[in-house]
Structure 1
Amino acid sequence: MNFDNDKKYLILEKAKDMIITDGYSNLSISKLTSEINISKGNFYTYFSSKDKMLGKILDEYIENTKIFTNNLLNIPKNLDECLDYYINSVLNLTDDELKLELVMVNLRRNYEVFNEENFIKFKNTANIMIDFIKKILQKYITDISIEEKNIERCARMIFSISEVFLMMENIDFNSPKFSIKSLEEVKKSYKNANMKEHLEFIKKSVKKILY
């Protein structure tokens, strides 16, 4: 990375940290620039506004989602493998990917403050995955007991089950206010045997619905 890319990366990573700990609504450019010891003018060299910065973070998440769906398309050989790969994927996230997931969990409680462009991007993060699950179900339509007319409902249900479960896992319920667990706390919980049991339960439950 050159100097400009290094500085831009530093801004984005600190913004992610602050979204996780403080929430997007409480993220201020003044505090962010102070944390990484740059001027506000330096910030505006890379991003014209806080909204533009968030847009870049959402773009990164969308790109990660597209890469994931491509892998899901090319690796599994049948529907069971697709479901296993999809649901188990949380155990194989890199630190950067997991950090971005925590950002998205926090953003879900702040989307009312997004501008129109970012709200559309935010919706697309879900729509890309739902559309892809729908394509997978249609590909294996002869192997499942779901009627064609219910494929989209089923895709939304599968997406929602995994998303809500992970969101609940990432929230710190011991805190007196809404709080996301730290990256290290989440990494530890994801390695816990209970997490694998939870995911196995989800996989079995989804397969019962499909078959």
Structure 2
Amino acid sequence: MSKKQLIMEKATELFAKQGFEATSIQQITEQCGISKGSFYLSFKSKDELIMEMLDHFFMEVTAETDQLVNSSKNDANLLFKFYKLMFHFFAKHADFAKVLIKEMPHSLNQELLIKSRTYDVQTSKNILDMVESIYGEKVEATKFDLVYCIKGFLRIYSELFLFYEVELDMDLLCQSLVEKTDSLAKHSNIPFITEELEFYLKNADKIGDSKEEVLALINKQAEEMEDPVVRKSLEMLRKDVLEPSLPLAVRRGLVENVRVHADGKWLALVLDKWFEGTGTAPH
């Protein structure tokens, strides 16, 4: 085992017990039986160590899911194999999986959050490819919801063996989740995650950072919108983005006009973000 591998292994054990913030480089080096100088020869900082661990974990699981989905698209057992692969991977890397589940929702490290979201987008894409391969046009309207359900199943059920150390029959668990997923695919008819909202969620860190981007999105939506109330609301909001003058109550009402329309939900989120960033939030 190389020194870098030793550091990552021992750091993972400490992070799982104490979390990122509470674990010091001193504790890591003591656990490894090395000097701080040896640590800094491998990593410039604790943050760099965490980033490399995150890369290692997600690159491995992404490679495995890529290979499975791309090589088994006509396999009737693809979904079962996917669930089993993911749970096996979480069990194999139990300590780091625990860290991710406990730490990521509360992390203040923006670089870490952005990297994690990048990998999450890739995971979602693999699951979407699998969903489209298995269910085809039957789930065209609800496929993004199905992706979120599958990700939710993976997270919640993995906690049974990660945190509660319950003895599980993995084959039975995967069969049960395949049945649940099939039922959702067959009987769900009301979509919530639209393609537009999914696009916004994937690009939330990039969308709406400039006035030009917000105006371009408003103009595009207005051109495609048939509802006269929403079109008028977008026209008034466009003017307000250019030169804020509307009372908060009026702005709030206009944004809600956009939000209640099925095709306007994601744009309403962009507007929320924009007005909040300019100190004129409608909420």
Across the aligned residues of Structure 1 and Structure 2, the Cα RMSD in angstroms comes to 2.3
1:82 correspondence with 2:75: no
The answer on 1:171 being equivalent to 2:171 is: no
Cα distance in structure 1, aligned partners of 2:58 and 2:142: 26
Offset of residue 102 of structure 1: 3.2
Whether 2:181 is the aligned partner of 1:206: answer yes
Alignment map for 1:19-168 (pairs within 5 Å)? 19-78=15-74, 80-90=76-86, 92-93=88-89, 98-111=91-104, 112-142=106-136, 145-146=138-139, 148-168=140-160
Q: Choose between structure 1 and 2 for higher RCO, CA contacts under 8 A separated by at least 6 residues.
A: 1
Instruction: Quote the residue 2:214 is aligned against.
Output: none
Highest CA radius of gyration, 1 or 2?
A: 2
Question: Match of 2:138, SS?
Answer: coil
Runs of 4+ residues deviating >6 angstroms: none
Q: Give the aligned partner of residue 176 of structure 1.
A: none
Residues 80, 174 of structure 2: 8 Å contact kept: no
What one-letter code is carried by the residue in structure 2 that aligns with 1:107? L
User: Normalising to structure 1: TM-score of the pair?
Assistant: 0.76
Q: Does 1:11 align with 2:10?
A: no
Gaps of 5+ in 2: 187-283
Alpha-carbon contact 1:20-1:106 (below 8 Å) kept: yes
Alpha-carbon shift at residue 107 of structure 1 (Å): 2.6
Structure 2 counterpart SS, 1:110: helix
Deviations 1:43-102, CA, capped at 9 Å, x for gaps: 111111111000001001121122112222233243642201111214644xxx634343
SS at match of 1:149: coil
Equivalent pair of 2:83/2:154 in contact (CA under 8 Å): yes
Structure 2 length as normaliser, TM-score?
Answer: 0.59
Structure 1's 140 and 126: CA in aligned 2 closer, same or farther, altered over 3 A? same
For the residue of structure 2 that corresponds to 1:24, the secondary structure is coil
Please, which runs of 5 or more residues in structure 1 have no aligned partner?
173-180
Residue identity over aligned pairs, in percent, reads 22
2:277 aligns with none
Would the alpha carbon gap of residues 117 and 91 (structure 1) be closer, same or farther in structure 2, given more than 3 Å must change?
A: closer
